[in-house]
Amino acid sequence: MNDAARKRIVQAPLSIDARGSSVRVIIAADKYTVANVSQGINDREEYARLFSAAPDMLAALQGVLPLLEKIETARLVGDEGCLWPVEFVRAAIAKAEGETS
């Protein structure tokens, strides 16, 4: 997937549509179905809400990463305590963007 397509997908506001036994994640603007949450999954609406919040969470992580990197560089070398948040944030962003290690 190219960068323009990824950006368009991530910026599309998602919402959930729960009607009867059907729970689906949709693009808010045009009601296009992105995902159906299986009836066999417990807490289907919670899964759908989490899925629909993913683009916002990615944007939040991308926004906070520069701040975490500044904090990390301000720490003393060898202070392992501050490294994990930055690495988890980087890994989550890479995973969302389809990068594999």
pTM of the model: 0.65
55 is a domain residue? yes
22 is a domain residue? yes
Q: Do 41 and 47 meet the contact criterion of CB atoms below 8 Å apart?
A: yes
10 is a domain residue? yes
pLDDT band, residue 66 (cuts 50/70/90): very high
101 is a domain residue? no
Task: State which residues form the domain around 42.
Answer: 3-96
DSSP 76: P
27 is a domain residue? yes
pLDDT band, residue 79 (cuts 50/70/90): low
41 is a domain residue? yes
Q: CA–CA separation, 12 vs 4, rounded Å?
A: 12
DSSP string, 8-47: HHHHS-EEEEEETTEEEEEETTT--EEEE--TTSTTHHHH
70 is a domain residue? yes
- The encoded tokens of residue 14 equal 């998602």
pLDDT band, residue 65 (cuts 50/70/90): very high
79 is a domain residue? yes
Q: Do 65 and 86 meet the contact criterion of CB atoms below 8 Å apart?
A: yes
Question: Could you give the number of structural domains in the chain?
Answer: 1
